[in-house]
A = this chain, B = another copy of it.
Amino acid sequence: MEDLKDVFISPLPDSPYVKPFRFNYTQNGKQKSWDLLEVHDSVAIIVFNITRKVMVFVKQFRPAIYYNCISPEDRKSTTIDTSKYPASLGIALEMCAGIIDKDKSVEHIAQEEVLEECGYSVPLSGLHRITSYRSGVGVQGALQTFFYCEVTDAMKTEQGGGVDDELIEVVEKTIPEIEEMVNSPGPIPSPPSCLFALMWFLYNKADKFRKTYEHHCAECKKGKMVFVK
C-alpha cells in the first residue's frame, strides 16, 4: 500500500468522478452563486466483531489526504518528491463505506460493502439503520446513511480488501484503542463521519462489550464494587 512513486498533478479532464458546476440563486432579494460538485449518496457501516470484541476499520491510501500534507510551495512543482512526502501521510482509517451507484436498496449496498471491504457475510436483518446526515455542507451535500452491525468470526467468509484496483487493509481495534484514538490530540487520519461513528458506538454500545471486574469493597470488605474497563 505504501509503495508510491511518479506523483504529479495535471488539469482536470472531463471527469466521471468530479463534476463541478455553478449553482445560481436569489436569496432575500440578493443574487448569489455557489460552486458545487455532483456527488453520489453513500452508506457507512460500523462493523463490530463480537467474537473478539473489536471494531473493524478499513485502511487505505487517500490522494486527497496525501495532497493536503504537501506544502503550498511543493505543490507547485511538476512532480512530488515521495522521499520527502511518503505514502504513509495519506493513509486513512475509516469505517466501511461505499457510494450508492446501483439501483439497489441502501441495505443491499451496505451488505455488499461489508463483504467486499471487510470480508463478512452479514444478513440484511443484521444491518441496523441508525440515521442519515449530509456528508458535507460546502461543495458536496449528498446523503450518507449510517448502519451498525455486529459480526462474528464465523461470518468472515472472504478476505475483504475491496474489489478491482482497491488496496484496502482491514484493521481491528479494541474498545480501549478506540478511546485512545478519539482522545488523541490529532491530527487523526480519519474523516468526521468515522469519528461520529466511534463516538456513537462509545456512547450507545460499548458498555455492552466492556469487561467488568468485581472487587470487594476496601472499607467494609463485604460490599462488591464493579469496575468497568
Chain B residue with Cβ nearest A189: B134
Asked if A28 is at the interface of the complex by the 8 Å CB criterion, the answer is yes
Q: Is the interface of A mostly helix, strand, loop or mixed?
A: mixed
From A62, A129, A132, A133, residue with most partner B Cβ within 10 Å: A133
From A29, A30, A39, A203, residue with most partner B Cβ within 10 Å: A203
- The proximity string for A residues 1-29 relative to B, scoring 1 for CB distances below 8 Å and 0 otherwise, is 10111111111110101101111111111
Asked if A34 is at the interface of the complex by the 8 Å CB criterion, the answer is yes
Copy number in this complex? 2
- In the complex, which of the residues B11, B13, B141, B185 contacts A66, with contact meaning CB atoms closer than 8 Å? B141
Asked if A144 is at the interface of the complex by the 8 Å CB criterion, the answer is yes
Task: Say whether A67 contacts B141, CB under 8 Å.
Answer: yes
Residues of A within 8 A of B (CB): 1, 3-13, 15, 17-18, 20-32, 34-37, 39, 41, 61-68, 87, 90, 92, 94, 129-146, 165, 167, 182-193, 195-196, 199-200, 202-203
Interface contacts beyond A4-B25, A62-B138, A68-B143: sample of 20 additional A-B pairs, CB < 8 Å, sorted by A: A7-B23, A7-B24, A7-B25, A10-B24, A12-B22, A37-B139, A41-B68, A62-B137, A65-B137, A68-B141, A131-B182, A131-B185, A131-B186, A132-B186, A133-B188, A146-B186, A182-B200, A191-B192, A193-B196, A196-B196
